[in-house]
Structure 1
Amino acid sequence: MNRVPRMLPALVALAAMTACAAESGHVVPQTQQASVVRAAGAASVTAPVQVTDPAKPEKKVKLDIADITPMGEKSEKVGVGFPIIVTFDRDVKDRAAVEALLEVEAEKPVDGAWRWVSARKVIYRTKTYWKPHQKVLFTARLSQLPGNTGTKDVSRRFAVGASHISVVNTRNHQMKVYRDGKLAKKIPISAGRGGLIKNGVDVYLTTSGVHLTMGKKAVETMTSSWMGVTDPKDPRYYKEEIPWAVRISDSGEYVHQSAGYYQFLGRSNQSHGCVRATPAGAKWFYGIAQRGDVVKITGTKRKLQWNNGWSYWQLNWTQWKKGSALKG
């Protein structure tokens, strides 16, 4: 495999909650693993307890990996927009030295760069979308970090699935889903109607920009608690079980089945910020959705922030690379 050029990272902060906010918060796939694997199907990062031999020099651990997202090739296939998110077990003091030890190799290479979003988290994004139907290998050679002799190298292989790029037009109320470059389905939708201003932001508007799918649930509980309404007697109160919910931001936006109100689908925007779809359309979209699939939304005045969920494609390539610790 050819090696993808390495660069740098940066990341998160939740945006203002939209009305579709789920009761359970952040969505993860049902098969989410807690441990980090060294390679597809390999053992976790936790090493067996060993008795120290006083005759041998003690091995020290200065830095290790706490989590890698997404999961390995045996657990999921990912979309062409997927980021590699690496979380360390402590603050990284020398970001450039650590970043230089992070490698990404793809069967179908594209340029990519790391961006640091916190003292412990770094994210890899490509310049253009990944090529579909391939494998990508991530390796962290942390054993080569000076003074980090007690740590072993960690690797994970990802499986990139089909290219799913959905285009949501909130003005003509249509969602077009393209699979490997060909139009697969048109789905009538209803987006955010607008009209609720919080801190200068109309949180009833769907955000326009390049979203990535982050997870999904066959049934998601959505409530009005995001706007401080918890009293069932309040006319603004709601608590609904919503089928076929695919999360596309941290601020509570989903593509999901409309809970009734089917007369508005394809005709007008009536949601609290989510993209409502027909029962058949929502179920079909849920069925094909992979984490890291691209959902482009257009037509609203509310802009998607780059650190709202996995919305890293909101930064252009020059802006993204500025988050790398490796200059030049």
Structure 2
Amino acid sequence: MTSRFPRRPAAGLGAAAVAVLMATSACSTDEGDLANEEPSVDAAEVAITPEDGGAEIRPDSPVVVSADKGEITDVQVEQQLSEGETDESMTGSFNDDKSEWVSDWTLHPGSDVTVTAVAENSEGESSEAISEFSTEPPVEGQRLEIESIKLEPDSTVGVGMPIIVDFDMPVENKAQVEAAMEVSSEKPAMGAWNWFGDKRAVFRTEEYWEPDQKVDVDLNLAGVAASEGVWGIENRSFGFEVGRSQITTIDENEHHMTVERDGETVKEFPVSLGDASQRKYTTTTGTHLTMGFHTDYRMSNDTLGVDEDAPEYYEVFVDYAIRISNSGEFLHELNDNPMLGEANTSHGCVNMSRADSRWYYEESLLGDPVDITGTDRELEVTNGWGFWQRSADEWISNSATGEADDTSEPGTPGSPHHEQ
């Protein structure tokens, strides 16, 4: 190692020699210091799309942050909504080396957006970029809204319960809307959305939900293009509990009903099904779901088109009734039916005794499966909640994305964003 100070010169050396030695020593010291210095590291360069200053950007345009010579460490998306509210809930996904971040969902129409992104180079030095822009506002009469959801938030439901979302306007871009609706479950399940008409989307798993778990639904619809010029204008989130597994089987030939709970038989009942004298009086075979619960309920065949002056017309009020289709089928009390367990004498419903129907009413949840066998009239997938009439493969292939969604993993198949 070269000393910072020269040694005293040996005796007999002249002044010139000493000067040369000193100069050589000083020069050597400078070269050694330069050799030990590390080259400087470039700062990370951060870019954001949409660019700063943009106006009337499509709400379904993805927010993309990229970093050159660095790794993205933080992205914040703040949306100032027209109602004066602020939304800072946007999430995004990184690529493997964190050099790119893409927003998971779409932006609110008619909002002022501020994107702040930070990246670090290999020395840990930070660089920041900010982009401020606005999104295209919605047009009156072209605003997609949720009309209804067939689930009460935080309710407890049966293992067959579908998620049913009805919209107020037709949806043409079904794949993008599907991709914006995320279903998350505590226990693994594969599922998908199917469409029944252009206004109803239904999520169902390949198999029944596993019992005793929480399911969350995030409808990230604000900014999704339902069709040309029609934007979703709201996000909505809710959750529900899947309760115990209760599955009812009814054998038309045996006039017998069995209730299993968590794989164990808990009750058996004598019943009477449709007499099949006409097709409308034939109970449908297939997997039904409990759809609604009623007490002191009016039952009449005028719902099947029978005039009150006709000889076959009837009207009765029953203590307990549970709907299982939209074609007039209920499990209900008819205590004065003498043929329970003996013959099928109803107009299509499943008749039970008053005591049995009360037990069943009190012990059932919305979305409990009811499997009926033995008749020659098949339940249609479009009849009530007959969604389990489709096989798992048919259900997945009928989705707009054509892919199954693993509800135990974040994200959805496809993308809600506009294809660039």
TM bucket (normalised to shorter chain) is 0.7 to 0.9
1:224 Cα shift? Answer: 2.5
Mapping for residues 312-327 of structure 1, pairs under 5 Å: 312-327=387-402
CA distance in 1, matches of 2:269, 2:361: 13
Going from structure 1 to structure 2, the CA distance change for 1:269 and 1:149 (only over 3 Å counts) comes to: closer
- Structure 1 residues 53 and 115 mapped into 2: Cα distance closer, same or farther (>3 Å)? closer
For residue 203 of structure 1, give the secondary structure of its aligned residue in structure 2: helix
Larger Rg: 2
How far residue 299 of structure 1 moved from its aligned partner, in angstroms, is 1.1
Residue 277 (structure 1) aligned with residue 359 (structure 2): no
Give the superposed CA RMSD: 2.6
Q: Which moved more, 1:234-243 or 1:264-273?
A: 234-243
Between structures 1 and 2, the one with greater strand share: 2
Amino acid at match of 1:85: I
Partner of 1:254: 330
Output the CA distance in 2 between the equivalents of 1:227 and 1:86: 27
Task: Provide the C-alpha distance between the structure 2 equivalents of 1:205 and 1:150, rounded to a whole number of angstroms.
Answer: 42
* Structure 1 segments unaligned to the other structure (5+ residues): 1-46, 197-201
Return 5+ residue gaps in structure 2 as ranges: 1-80, 86-109, 113-133, 404-420
Give 1:178's aligned residue.
260
> Alignment partner for residue 207 of structure 1, among 268, 274, 284?
284
SS of equivalent residue, structure 1 residue 72: coil
Residue 65 in 1 paired to residue 140 in 2? no
Instruction: Find out whether 1:265 has 2:340 as its counterpart.
Output: yes
Counterpart-to-counterpart distance in 2, 1:150 and 1:215 = 30
3-state SS of 2:281 partner: coil
Judge conservation of contact 1:264–1:270 (CA < 8 Å) in 2: yes
1:292 is displaced (CA, Å) by 0.6
The normalised TM-score by structure 1 is 0.77
Say whether the 8 Å CA contact 2:223–2:232 is kept in structure 1. Answer: no
TM-score by length of 2: 0.61
Query: Does residue 93 in structure 1 map to residue 169 in structure 2?
Result: no
Question: After superposition, where does 1:114-263 map in structure 2 within 5 Å?
Answer: 114-145=193-224, 151-196=233-278, 202-232=279-309, 234-261=310-337, 263=338
Match of 1:297 in 2: 372
Question: Could you list the per-position Cα deviations for residues 161-213 of structure 1 after superposition, in whole angstroms to 9, with x for gaps in the alignment?
Answer: 121100001111110001121111001101111112xxxxx121111110001
Q: Do the aligned partners of residues 136 and 227 (structure 1) sit closer, same or farther apart at CA in structure 2, a change above 3 Å counting?
A: closer
Q: Secondary structure of the residue that 2:308 maps to in structure 1?
A: coil
**Deviation at 1:58?**
6.7
Q: Which has the higher contact order (CA 8 A, sep 6+)?
A: 1
Report the alpha carbon displacement of residue 49 of structure 1 after superposing the two structures with TM.
6.1
C-alpha distance in structure 1 between counterparts of 2:135 and 2:275, whole Å: 65
| Paired residue secondary structure (2:341) | coil
Shift of 1:235: 2.4
Deviation for aligned residue 1:259: 4.3
Does 1:287 pair with 2:287?
no
